[in-house]
Structure 1
Amino acid sequence: MITFILNNKEVSTSMPPGTPVLDFVRYNQYLTGTKIGCREGDCGACTVLVGDLSTNELRYRTATSCLMPLGNAHGKHIVTIEGLNMADLNPIQQAMADESATQCGFCTPGFVVSMAGFCLSKKSPTPQNAIAAVDGNICRCTGYKSIERAATRVAYLLENRHDQNPVQFAASHAILPAYFATIQARLQSLSSTPNGELANEVPTAQRVGGGTDLYVQKHDEIKDASIRFLADNTDLKGIRQQGDQCVIGSATTVTDLIESPLIQQYFPDFKQYTTLVSSTPIRNMATIGGNFINASPIGDFTIFFLALDAELTFREGDSVREIPLRNLYLGYKTLDKHPEEQLEQIRFSLPNKQARFNFEKVSKRTHLDIASVNSAIAITVENDVITHVRLSAGGIAPIPKQLINTAEFLTRKHLTEALILDAIAVAQTESAPISDARGTEAYKRLLLGQLIKAHFIKLFPELKVEQLLTLKV
């Protein structure tokens, strides 16, 4: 039995745990304010809040309910737009009305829920952060300036919060309904049965982490499937340092990485990189292990960790196997992985003080889009000589590529503009892009060269940037 708090009431259901939360709240609970839009996590019309105690305090994150299995709601607080209603419009809704930030209204519930998630977060109450909170919501008729003004007004609601608990502040200042102040105690009293026990552990059970890719590809078949839920498996979570290595559980989300002090210490630009990847709700749900196993040739974090030469740990019963991430991909969507193996850990060597890292991505939209070509580099230069380098790229082959020959060509050479151009020529020999909806073969080859240039321009500003940008390969 799946049990959770839905808005202000406890609910239990024996519906298939693979049922999308969106379908449960609309067709079982008749909460139709949560809208059906794209069913791919892009439009944000189905956004809900998910509150949990995984960090030993009540924490809320937004999620796209069209991609969230009901089993992942177990033991949590799920909030739809109806759960934000008060006797009159709440201040977030009032801000949207006052700024004329809605026309047809179809998308409005998702925007309001996302702004409520911002109010319940510990993010600094700045207009920039408030606007960033709705990066997963699309409006097709209003125009975003009025919505941005509404988000700015919401940020001002929090200006006196300081170090107060966000949930308690929002409830006590009538930003959100008062019942939010009771949720932590109520969640603690819920059944503690882990959602991993919600499905039969049959050999053919589908493993599901965040579901952000599976529910796009297999919506109709997965909703009734037997599922092994991974998202709340504490053995598969966490980010920690072991000696000079970073160890990441496969069910760790992108947001977990963004918020990790360890990742922030060694990759200070990591948050900036992630603004190019999906949206806040998707980053809240999507797991790093899922990004790897999905085997997309343009998987953003696959490319990121290929440049770090990450190692993977697989488990099948008592058998443990470790392989480099670069060896996982045998062909398009083909993995060196046994059917019953489960990815448990990702580990990589933390960069030393001399090492530099960069990630680049080009897509048709700056945000909330998949890459045409993406690339990452980890490089160490001493006395103008490249002593160590790893380079990866996506969108240029049937698999995510670590450009081994290019790295070997660069190693132990003096860093010059001419060397970079020669390295781009080598990279083209390791590239075999195809023409598709994201660009022609020629365009992707051009992008590969430009992204390699971008790495060096970003990491080594002392190079002659203007010359490098204008030189043709």
Structure 2
Amino acid sequence: MITFILNNKTIRTTEHSGMTLLDFVRYEQRLTGTKIGCREGDCGACTILVGTLSQNSMTYQSITSCISPLGNAHGKHIVTVEGTNLKDKLTKAQEAMKANYATQCGFCTPGFVVALTGFALSNSEHNYNTALDAISGNICRCTGYKAIEKAAYQLVDNLENQDKHTVNWLINNEFIPDYFETIPQRIKDIEAKDFNQPQGKYVSGGTDLYVQQADHLADNEVHLIAAKDKLKGITIENKSCTIGANSTVSDLWNHAEINSYFPKLKQHLKLVSSEQIRNMASFGGNLVNASPIGDMTIFFLALNSDVTISNDHGNERTMPLKHFYQGYKTYDLNDGELIKSIHFKLPTNSTFFNFEKVCKRTHLDIASVNSAIHLTIENNNISEAHVSIGGVAAIPKYLHETSTFLIGKPLTSETVINANAVLQDEIAPISDVRGTSDYKRLLGRQLFFAHFTALFPKQFTLNDFVQHA
């Protein structure tokens, strides 16, 4: 039986674990403040909060409930917009939206309110940039974003004197209702062990699968693995990083030590979906979705990552990620096998990493072409190179020939221009809704050049490459 707390009510249900949390909230519980918009996690109208008990306190994150399976709510605190309400007065998030005239038709407003409430509850730094990140996955169709931004800024000002990690302060200052202080003990009282899982399709966060197969998953057996601790965690040991396949983009975003190795990590990851999706999407799911434009797949390919694969019997095998993909949506994974973890060497003082992406809008969009590069430079020569690119082949593409060509070459514009010629021979883009094949070739070239101008700005400008290309 799936058991969790929905707002201030304990839920025990035998509903199908593969149905979406959105449908359960709206149709089974009649909490219609959570809206149905795109059903792809793209608009944020269905945003809810998921609270997880950790060391006697709750950690809250926003997610899009339209692509989240009901079973993943087991042992959690689920908060809809109705669960944020105070009695006879507005919360600080609601008041900020009202005071700044940040709503017109009101369809998107519950999602914004929930996302802003999640921001107030979060352990992130409460500044203007993180407030805007919190609502990066919420789309408004009529109001215009400046008024909503002002509401977010007002909430930041209201949080200025907050005592860190104190739910009582948020209750006393009218950010959340007082029942929140009872939640940790009530979650402890729930039998939060794994509920009986059928032998169906493996699903972790669901952010890829539920966009494509929501109805099928709601009607058929699913085996939910998001709660499996053995697939979680980020560890650093012997100058290498191991990331559990159930870890999310937000886990990487919030990992202080990883950020010290990759100073531009948050800048790169901000190009990956929205905060709601980053809170849900697992790395393992991203890899096995096998999208030719999967952002994190391109990211890990350039880091020359290995993947460890385990099966039902506990046997494991490890292989380079660059050899994992065999064709469009096909890969080296047998029945009963799961990706367990991802491993890569951490950067050193002589290594350089960069990620680039072009899409129709800057954030929360699918790439037309994306690319990443990892270089080791010694005495102005390239001693190691790994280049990956998406959107130009049937698979997420590790550029074997381009990477090999760069090794041993001097770091000069001539080397980069000649490497682009190799790159163009190695890719085979097709024309589709994201652009013509010629356009994607152009993007591939420009992103390849952009890696070098971004990593070595004192040495290269774009003109150094374009005028000779």
Structure-2-length-normalised TM-score: 0.97
Question: Within 1, Cα distance between the matches of 2:10 and 2:121?
Answer: 21
Aligned twin of 1:229? 224
The superposition leaves residues 332-380 of structure 1 with CA deviations (integer Å, 9 ceiling, x where unpaired) of: 0011111211111111112222111100000011000010111111101
- TM-superposed deviation, 1:57: 3.0
Question: Within 2, Cα distance between the matches of 1:438 and 1:12?
Answer: 44
Aligned twin of 2:261? 266
Aligned twin of 1:115? 116
- TM-superposed deviation, 1:178: 1.2
Unaligned runs of 5+ in 1: none
Aligned twin of 1:48? 48
3-state SS, counterpart of residue 223 of structure 1: helix
Aligned twin of 2:244? 249
Decide whether aligned partners of structure 1 residues 166 and 140 sit closer, same or farther in structure 2, where only a CA change above 3 A counts.
farther
**Residue type of the partner of 1:326?**
K
Unaligned runs of 5+ in 2: none
Alignment equivalent of 1:199, drawn from 192, 197, 205: 197
Aligned twin of 1:239? 234
**Residue type of the partner of 1:97?**
K
3-state SS, counterpart of residue 359 of structure 1: strand
Question: Within 2, Cα distance between the matches of 1:198 and 1:279?
Answer: 32
Deviates more, 1:241-250 or 1:38-47: 241-250
8 Å CA contact 1:119–1:166 kept in 2: the answer is: no
8 Å CA contact 2:355–2:451 kept in 1: the answer is: yes
Question: Within 2, Cα distance between the matches of 1:307 and 1:5?
Answer: 42
- TM-superposed deviation, 1:169: 2.4
8 Å CA contact 2:41–2:277 kept in 1: the answer is: yes
3-state SS, counterpart of residue 420 of structure 1: helix
3-state SS, counterpart of residue 355 of structure 2: strand
The superposition leaves residues 380-419 of structure 1 with CA deviations (integer Å, 9 ceiling, x where unpaired) of: 1111111111110001100011111111111111111111
1:351-390 correspondence to structure 2 within 5 Å: 351-390=347-386
3-state SS, counterpart of residue 424 of structure 2: helix
8 Å CA contact 1:238–1:249 kept in 2: the answer is: yes
Aligned twin of 1:39? 39
RMSD, matched Cα: 1.2
1:46-195 correspondence to structure 2 within 5 Å: 46-54=46-54, 57-86=57-86, 87-162=88-163, 164-194=164-194
Decide whether aligned partners of structure 1 residues 357 and 55 sit closer, same or farther in structure 2, where only a CA change above 3 A counts.
farther
- Identity among equivalent positions (%) equals 52
Decide whether aligned partners of structure 1 residues 236 and 55 sit closer, same or farther in structure 2, where only a CA change above 3 A counts.
farther
- TM-superposed deviation, 1:241: 1.6
Aligned twin of 1:301? 296
8 Å CA contact 1:40–1:66 kept in 2: the answer is: yes
Q: Does 1:340 align with 2:341?
A: no
8 Å CA contact 2:325–2:331 kept in 1: the answer is: yes
8 Å CA contact 1:240–1:262 kept in 2: the answer is: no
- TM-superposed deviation, 1:466: 4.9
Aligned twin of 1:5? 5
Question: Within 2, Cα distance between the matches of 1:166 and 1:267?
Answer: 31
Deviates more, 1:231-240 or 1:53-62: 53-62
Question: Within 2, Cα distance between the matches of 1:220 and 1:232?
Answer: 22
Q: How many residue pairs align between the two structures?
A: 467
Aligned twin of 1:280? 275
Structure-1-length-normalised TM-score: 0.97
Decide whether aligned partners of structure 1 residues 258 and 55 sit closer, same or farther in structure 2, where only a CA change above 3 A counts.
farther
3-state SS, counterpart of residue 150 of structure 1: helix
8 Å CA contact 1:84–1:90 kept in 2: the answer is: yes
Question: Within 2, Cα distance between the matches of 1:129 and 1:469?
Answer: 36
8 Å CA contact 1:17–1:71 kept in 2: the answer is: yes
Question: Within 1, Cα distance between the matches of 2:235 and 2:211?
Answer: 31
8 Å CA contact 1:17–1:198 kept in 2: the answer is: no
- TM-superposed deviation, 1:469: 5.4
The superposition leaves residues 434-465 of structure 1 with CA deviations (integer Å, 9 ceiling, x where unpaired) of: 01111111111011111111110111112231
**Residue type of the partner of 2:59?**
R
**Residue type of the partner of 1:73?**
A
3-state SS, counterpart of residue 176 of structure 1: coil
8 Å CA contact 2:21–2:66 kept in 1: the answer is: yes
Q: Does 1:459 align with 2:455?
A: yes
Deviates more, 1:133-142 or 1:223-232: 223-232
**Residue type of the partner of 2:387?**
L
8 Å CA contact 2:3–2:192 kept in 1: the answer is: no
3-state SS, counterpart of residue 352 of structure 2: strand
3-state SS, counterpart of residue 376 of structure 2: strand
Question: Within 2, Cα distance between the matches of 1:243 and 1:56?
Answer: 32
8 Å CA contact 1:453–1:468 kept in 2: the answer is: no
8 Å CA contact 1:2–1:198 kept in 2: the answer is: no
